[in-house]
Amino acid sequence: ARPRVGYFYTGKTGSQLLTEKIKKIKVHEFQSLPVVVQESASVYDAITTMFLEDVGTLFIVDEKSKLAGVVSRKDLLRASLGQQNLNQIPVNIIMTRMPNVAVCYKDDHLIEVARQLIERQIDAMPVVEKIDNDGFEVIGRVTKTNITKALVDLAVDELI
């Protein structure tokens, strides 16, 4: 049979195809490298790292490189307004600590992470792997910047 150009059969509407395409995107397709800081580091060191690496969120790890918490630019701004010496406050005093940190896996759907960033009003989530059923190793980060890039990519992508 000759191909019938311009016709195609899917049993689905264009809108459903769109929805499905977005839902199929995995975290690992858009994740960035994580920036981590030891929990014993000072708030001052954390701020320096944030500027050097130009990120909005730092992941804090313990001496075994296990995820211990998260620090945002907002947390650091709040701390810097205090009258204390930022060199003498360890960053684990001001971090949001486990288990109150939302995490995701590289094979999760990006749209689910996007939904959680909105719901929890956070800017970033660590991409983790389980360590022997005891805690998480941080292997990446997903931010609203990554989500924005995904939307930009969808608008230029001509292939399903």
Q: How far is the CB of 63 from a copy of itself (least distance, A)?
A: 27
Q: Which residue has the tokens 């050097």?
A: 52
Residue 60, C-beta contacts closer than 8 angstroms, at least 6 positions apart: 36, 37, 38, 39, 67, 68, 69, 70, 71, 91, 92, 95
Question: Rounded to the nearest 5°, which phi and psi values hold at 68?
Answer: -110, -30
Straight-line distance from the first to the last Cα atom of the chain, in angstroms, rounded to the nearest whole number:
24
Q: Binding string, 57-76, against a copy of itself, x = CB under 8 A?
A: ----------------xx-x
Q: How far is the CB of 87 from a copy of itself (least distance, A)?
A: 12
Contact 96/120 with Cβ under 8 angstroms?
no
Q: Does 149 bind a copy of itself (CB under 8 A)?
A: yes
Q: From the list 37, 41, 47, 58, which residue makes contact with a copy of itself (rule: CB under 8 A)?
A: 47
Report the length, in residues, of the chain: 160
Q: How far is the CB of 96 from a copy of itself (least distance, A)?
A: 16
Dihedral angle at the C-alpha atoms of 108, 113, 114, 115, nearest 10 degrees? 110
Q: Does 33 bind a copy of itself (CB under 8 A)?
A: no
Q: Does 3 bind a copy of itself (CB under 8 A)?
A: no
Q: ω into residue 99 within 30 of 0, thus cis?
A: yes
Q: From the list 1, 15, 100, 134, which residue makes contact with a copy of itself (rule: CB under 8 A)?
A: 15
Chain residues binding a copy of itself by CB under 8 A are 6-19, 21-23, 47, 50-51, 54, 56, 73-74, 76-78, 80-81, 111, 114-115, 117-118, 121, 123, 143-145, 147-152, 154-160
